[in-house]
């Protein structure tokens, strides 16, 4: 937890020498607490105070990365329990398992199926982020071979799951260049797993039966030189998992309890419906990596949708690029209408225009991702903004008429808009759902 200005002040020399550029040590402490000054600006801070201040300033949760290249993923470094307090930083990494009991064609098909789990939602690509190779065969050779096949068949980040240090060592030897996450070290294997993790510079999952045992084990592994840790509890019911996950997050963020200050991973069991329910709960609270067995699109899409919604910055609405969009194959006589760049608004309008089967142009105006009425009442949508958008889009080169259909909710701006642009303004429907009727009956 960050120190307050007064707590920082207690660690300063209190000589008010002004060398930091501030009139007093207290003023400097206050600026430091607000991150408006740097500790280095005071040349007289003792080494002991520096250490204390650095420790207090360290994020309450470690950032852990695995995978490489474009498919590297990062988890952790969260700072708040509720996204409205600030925002969540690193989305849950959704992972699908591959058993090492599979081989040959069956294994390749499973890998291809996981690779294909990618969808478009409100203009954004969402996809599975990692593959977990699971040592169900009990054989180190089969596990290493399956890990190598996954490496060859997929660019996704990898998690190697086995309780056997021998199996992990065999699989890591084939895949270390892909920086896999190693899962998992338990009390009796911690030393060997930590050595493999350290030697290969791969992050390590630490597993224990209770929160207390987990915090002791994470401290032990950390003191052995492994800093990039991910935590997990041994099999629990979904209810217990949710309770423990919440408790661990509270302890790491609110109490800054460092032994639990790492991201967490959950391995989800059960039939498909149970996996969706348990995974969705743990995406919300507070698993950083969720591993499911199901690779069906009807399981994965809802989970990716939950991730997308939970990890959207609440202060930044999902937006589309402000520009001229074509629906169908419009020509110089096609209708032109405008809407705002709030994703939900744009995709609703686009879908209704599409269902009208009237090829059209939609001019998307930059209103900082707000909807029509919100933008208008906040003066982010006015005649000047629309006139600028018309100019920037070069729409005049695409159509020969000079008619603009505006949303019915902002009919009030039609007069000023006509004056500013010189275009004929047609007031469109208030509700997007009636656009098809409008285009067929009024426009045509
Ligand atoms: S330089 Fe350090 S000791 Fe001097 S006033 Fe600033 S904070 Fe205080």
pLDDT score of 86 more than 90: no
Residue 368: φ, ψ to 5°: 60, 35
The verdict on 228 and 279 lying in the same domain is yes
Question: How many Cα atoms occupy the beta-carbon half-sphere of 152 within 13 Å?
Answer: 11
Query: Ligand 1 test: best mutation among 25, 30, 53, most atoms within 8 Å of CB?
Result: 25
Report yes or no on 193 lying in a domain.
Answer: yes
CA distances from 281 to 95, 214, 287, 423, 437 (A): 15, 22, 9, 52, 42
Report yes or no on 315 lying in a domain.
Answer: no
pLDDT score of 1 more than 60: no
Mean residue pLDDT of the chain comes to 94
Instruction: For residues 161 and 143, give the distance between their C-alpha atoms in angstroms, rounded to a whole number.
Output: 9
Cα–ligand 1 centroid distance for 18 (angstroms)? 5
Residues 6+ apart with CB under 8 A from 23: 16
Report yes or no on 412 lying in a domain.
Answer: yes
Report yes or no on 318 lying in a domain.
Answer: no
148 lines ligand 1 (CB under 6 A): no
Cα–ligand 1 centroid distance for 17 (angstroms)? 5
- What is the residue range of 257's domain? 63-310
pLDDT of residue 2: 63
Angle between helices 414-421 and 383-393 (to 10 degrees): 40
Report yes or no on 281 lying in a domain.
Answer: yes
State which ligand 1 atom lies nearest to the alpha carbon of 25: 8
Residue 357: φ, ψ to 5°: 60, 20
Residue 102, both tokens: 């599979």
pTM of structure = 0.80
pLDDT tens-digit series, residues 154-179 = 999 999 999 999 999 999 999 999 99
pLDDT of residue 225: 93
- When comparing pLDDT for 38 and 64, which is higher? 64
Mean pLDDT of 76-104: 94
pLDDT of residue 5: 86
Tally of CB atoms within 10 A around 392: 14
CATH number at residue 193: 3.20.20.20
Q: Which of 87-96, 290-299, 307-316 has the lowest mean pLDDT?
A: 307-316
State which of 42, 57, 72 marks the end of a domain: 57
Mean pLDDT of 11-27: 94
Note whether 144 and 108 are within 8 A (CB): no
The verdict on 279 and 202 lying in the same domain is yes
The verdict on 148 and 103 lying in the same domain is yes
The verdict on 52 and 140 lying in the same domain is no
**Of 100, 126, 59, 70, which Cα lies nearest the Cα of 283?**
126
Note whether 278 and 240 are within 8 A (CB): no
**Residue tagged 């019915």 (tokens):** 408
pLDDT of residue 442: 92
Residues 6+ apart with CB under 8 A from 426: 403, 404, 405, 406, 442, 443
Instruction: Give the pLDDT band (50/70/90) at residue 328.
Output: very high
The verdict on 265 and 340 lying in the same domain is no
pLDDT tens-digit series, residues 269-281 = 999 999 999 999 9
Instruction: For residues 92 and 95, give the distance between their C-alpha atoms in angstroms, rounded to a whole number.
Output: 9
Report yes or no on 319 lying in a domain.
Answer: no
Instruction: For residues 63 and 47, give the distance between their C-alpha atoms in angstroms, rounded to a whole number.
Output: 26
pLDDT score of 91 more than 80: yes
Looking at ligand 1, which residue's alpha carbon is closest to its atom 8?
25
pLDDT of residue 62: 94
17 lines ligand 1 (CB under 6 A): yes
pLDDT of residue 60: 87
pLDDT score of 261 more than 90: yes
CATH number at residue 389: 3.40.50.11600
The verdict on 222 and 289 lying in the same domain is yes
pLDDT score of 350 more than 60: yes
Bridge-based pairing of strands 360-365 and 336-340 is parallel
The verdict on 282 and 297 lying in the same domain is yes
22 lines ligand 1 (CB under 6 A): yes
Instruction: For residues 171 and 182, give the distance between their C-alpha atoms in angstroms, rounded to a whole number.
Output: 10
Report yes or no on 232 lying in a domain.
Answer: yes
Q: What ranges in 285-365 are assigned the alpha helix state H?
A: 297-310, 343-356
Q: Which of 34-43, 326-335, 362-371 has the lowest mean pLDDT?
A: 34-43
State which of 275, 310, 345 marks the end of a domain: 310
% of the chain exceeding 90 in pLDDT: 86
The verdict on 256 and 402 lying in the same domain is no
* Secondary structure class of 325 (helix, strand, coil): strand
The verdict on 44 and 94 lying in the same domain is no
Number of domains, the chain = 3
The verdict on 91 and 226 lying in the same domain is yes
DSSP, res 319:
B
The verdict on 268 and 355 lying in the same domain is no
State which of 17, 38, 57 marks the end of a domain: 57
pLDDT tens-digit series, residues 378-428 = 999 999 999 999 999 999 999 999 999 999 999 999 999 999 999 999 999
pLDDT of residue 51: 85
pLDDT tens-digit series, residues 111-122 = 999 999 999 988
The verdict on 47 and 106 lying in the same domain is no
CATH number at residue 17: 1.10.15.40
Cα–ligand 1 centroid distance for 7 (angstroms)? 15
């Amino acid at each position: 937890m960050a120190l307050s200005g007064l707590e920082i002040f207690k660690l300063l020399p209190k000589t008010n020498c002004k060398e930091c550029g501030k009139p007093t040590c207290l003023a400097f402490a206050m600026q430091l607490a607000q991150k408006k000054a740097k500790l280095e600006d005071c040349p007289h801070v003792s080494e002991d105070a520096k250490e204390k201040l650095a420790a207090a300033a360290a994020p309450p949760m470690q950032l852990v990365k695995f995978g490489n290249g474009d498919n590297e993923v990062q988890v952790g470094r969260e700072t708040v329990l509720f996204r409205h307090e600030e925002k969540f930083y690193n989305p849950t990494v959704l992972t699908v398992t591959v058993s090492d009991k599979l081989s040959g064609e069956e294994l390749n098909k499973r890998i291809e199926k996981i690779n294909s789990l990618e969808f478009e939602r409100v203009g954004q690509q969402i996809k599975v982020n990692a593959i977990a190779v699971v040592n169900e065969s009990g054989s180190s050779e089969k596990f290493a071979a399956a890990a190598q096949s996954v490496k060859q068949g997929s660019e996704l980040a990898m998690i190697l799951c086995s309780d056997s240090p021998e199996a992990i060592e065999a699989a890591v030897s084939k895949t270390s260049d892909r920086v896999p996450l190693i899962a998992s070290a338990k009390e009796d294997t911690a030393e060997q797993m930590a050595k493999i993790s350290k030697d290969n510079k791969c992050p390590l999952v630490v597993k224990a039966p209770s929160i207390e045992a987990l915090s002791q084990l994470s401290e032990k592994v950390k003191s052995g030189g492994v800093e990039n840790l991910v935590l997990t509890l041994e099999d629990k019911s979904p209810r217990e998992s949710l309770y423990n996950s919440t408790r661990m997050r509270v302890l790491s963020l609110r109490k800054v309890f460092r032994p639990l200050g790492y991201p967490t991973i959950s391995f989800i069991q059960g039939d498909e419906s149970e996996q969706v329910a348990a995974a969705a709960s743990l995406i919300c609270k507070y698993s950083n990596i969720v591993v499911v067995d199901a690779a069906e699109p009807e399981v994965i899409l809802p989970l990716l949708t939950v991730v997308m919604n939970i990890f959207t910055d609440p202060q930044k609405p999902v937006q589309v690029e402000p520009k001229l969009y074509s629906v169908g194959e419009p020509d110089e006589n096609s209708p032109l209408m405008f809407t705002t760049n709030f994703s939900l608004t744009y995709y609703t309008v686009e879908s209704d225009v599409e269902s009208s089967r009237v090829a059209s142009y939609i001019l998307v105006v930059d209103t900082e991702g707000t909807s029509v009425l919100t933008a208008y009442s906040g003066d982010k949508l006015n005649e000047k903004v629309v006139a600028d958008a018309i100019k920037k889009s070069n729409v005049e080169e695409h159509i020969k008429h000079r008619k603009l259909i505006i949303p019915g909710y902002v009919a009030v701006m039609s007069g000023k808009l006509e004056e500013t642009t010189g275009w004929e303004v047609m007031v469109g429907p208030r509700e997007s759902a009636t656009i098809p009727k409008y285009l067929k009956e009024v426009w045509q």
